[in-house]
Amino acid sequence: MAAAPRLVGDTACMALPEVAVGLIVAEDGRLLLQHRDDKPGIINPGRWGCFGGHLDPGERAAHAFVREMEEELGWRPSHFEPYRRLEVDSDGWHLMSNTFAAHLDVPPEALRQTEGQGLGLFAPDALPDGVVGGIVPLIREFAASDVYRRIRKHWDVITATGIIVDGGGRFLLQLRDDKPGIDNPGMWGSFGGRIEPGETPADGFARELREELGWAPARCELFAAGPYRPDERNQLIYVYAARLDVPEASLVLGEGQALGLFALDHLPANTVPDYAALLRRFAASELYARLRDSA
């Protein structure tokens, strides 16, 4: 792929070719690797590496990752999230690698491989001979991470919820509908909802905010992620924090009875207890101070 030039100050630079690749994990913790074709003109021929490929012009990395999985494996990942974005040197290529962590929710025999000599599942500490050297430290780091522990599991429900902070340090809360069949009816809580299969948690969070508020932040940051089972469901929740960068009056409520901005010491009495505890923990973090004080 030809690299397009760009200017940084007075220096002409070359934008790096970008790839999207996957650390794909089965529920037993093994990683899915590809035995690459042994032919000239490709990166690391004949070696074991990750599935993935180059981004098309103008393509987002997450879309490229899903597309590459469909093309190479006939499989569309339902639960995946970004893991690392880093510059790599591999077999004479200098690339920007967008690495995603994904849960393998089908048996290997259900995959339809269209590229490479073969595939296999390998424990992180028992990788095959001939593995691409550069991914070994990445896999070791990944296997010790919280991302690995949550992505290897099957979850019945995956949700994303928000902590939204204004310039005064107040939190944006939603007064939930008071009707049966929903969590915490008639209480003050967070904006957010279920992640749809095939979208990243951050993309799902932004979609939920657009649906519920007619607004989504320019950027959000992951504050926490982990199991949440208020009614014994096998539920994973991602908690994102974002700055409210528009006036409260411009928000259009699409779900719930009302919205409001509240200081931590003036939360409504009927705030969801788990959410109030989360806000207290968040208010002690550096991320809260940074969002509150950002322009």
Q: What pLDDT does residue 11 have?
A: 34
pLDDT of residue 4 exceeding 70 = no
pLDDT of residue 81 exceeding 60 = yes
Confidence of residue 89 (pLDDT cuts 50, 70, 90): confident
Closest CA to 57 of 27, 5, 18, 98: 18
pLDDT digits (tens, 9 = 90+) for 123-167: 999 999 999 888 999 999 999 999 999 999 999 999 999 999 999
Which segment of 16-25, 76-85, 89-98, 146-155 scores lowest on mean pLDDT? 89-98
Burial class (CB within 10 angstroms; exposed 0-12, middle 13-18, buried 19+) of 93: middle
- pLDDT, average across residues 190-207: 95
Answer yes or no: are the C-beta atoms of 15 and 91 closer than 8 Å. no
Q: What pLDDT does residue 6 have?
A: 33
Task: Give all strands (DSSP E) within the chain, no chain letters.
Answer: 5-8, 11-14, 18-25, 31-35, 48-49, 51-54, 80-90, 93-103, 118-122, 157-165, 171-175, 188-189, 192-194, 221-227, 235-243, 258-262
Distance CA 165, CA 69 (A): 37
Handedness of CA 93, 95, 100, 106 (dihedral sign): negative
pLDDT digits (tens, 9 = 90+) for 62-80: 999 999 999 999 999 999 9
Q: What pLDDT does residue 39 have?
A: 83
- 88: tokens are 């790599």
Give the pTM: 0.89
Q: Which conformational region is residue 214 in: left (phi greater than 0), alpha (psi within -120 to 50 degrees), or beta?
A: left
Handedness of CA 209, 242, 204, 188 (dihedral sign): negative
Distance CA 272, CA 188 (A): 6
Q: What pLDDT does residue 9 have?
A: 37
- Residue 130, SS3 per DSSP: coil
Confidence of residue 231 (pLDDT cuts 50, 70, 90): low
Domains by residue range for the chain, with CATH: 5-151 (3.90.79.10), 157-293 (3.90.79.10)
Dmax (CA) for the chain in angstroms is 67
